[in-house]
A = this chain, B = another copy of it.
Amino acid sequence: MSTTAEQAVGPDRKGAATRAAILDHAVDLASVEGLEGLTIGRLAADLKMSKSGLFAHFGSKQDLQLATVAAAAERFRAVVVEPALAAPRGAPRLRAMVEGYFDHIELYSGGCFWGATSAEYDDRPGPVRDAIAAALDAWLAALAGNARDAGVADPDRFAFEVYAVVMAANARFRLSGDRRVFDYARDVLARLTAELPA
List residues of chain A with CB under 8 Å of any chain B CB: 32-34, 36, 110-111, 115-116, 118-120, 122-123, 129, 132-133, 136-137, 140, 156-157, 160-161, 163-165, 167-169, 171-172, 174-176, 180-181, 184-185, 187-188
List of B residues within 8 angstroms of A169 by Cβ: 160, 164
A122: contacting residue among B110, B137, B184, CB under 8 A: B110
B156→A167 contact, CB < 8 A: no
- CB <8 Å contact, B175 and A133: yes
- Min CB gap A166→B, angstroms: 9
- Please determine whether A181 and B160 come into contact, CB atoms closer than 8 angstroms: yes
Out of B116, B161, B172, name the residue touching A160 (CB < 8 Å): B172
Contact with A176, one of B133, B161, B184 (Cβ below 8 angstroms): B133
Complex copy number for this chain: 2
Q: Are B160 and A122 in contact (CB under 8 A)?
A: no
Q: Tell which of B156, B172, B180 touches A184, judged by Cβ atoms closer than 8 Å.
A: B156
7 more A-B residue pairs beyond the given contacts A118-B174, A164-B165, with a C-beta to C-beta distance below 8 A:
A34-B120, A110-B122, A115-B119, A115-B171, A119-B171, A137-B176, A164-B169
Contact of A123 among B136, B167, B174 (CB under 8 A): B174
Complex alpha-carbon distance, A175 and B130, angstroms? 9
Please indicate which of the listed interface residues A32, A115, A119, A175 has the most CB atoms of chain B within 10 Å of its own CB. Answer: A119
CB nearest to A159 among chain B residues: B184
How far does the alpha carbon of A41 sit from the alpha carbon of B176 in the complex, in Å? 32
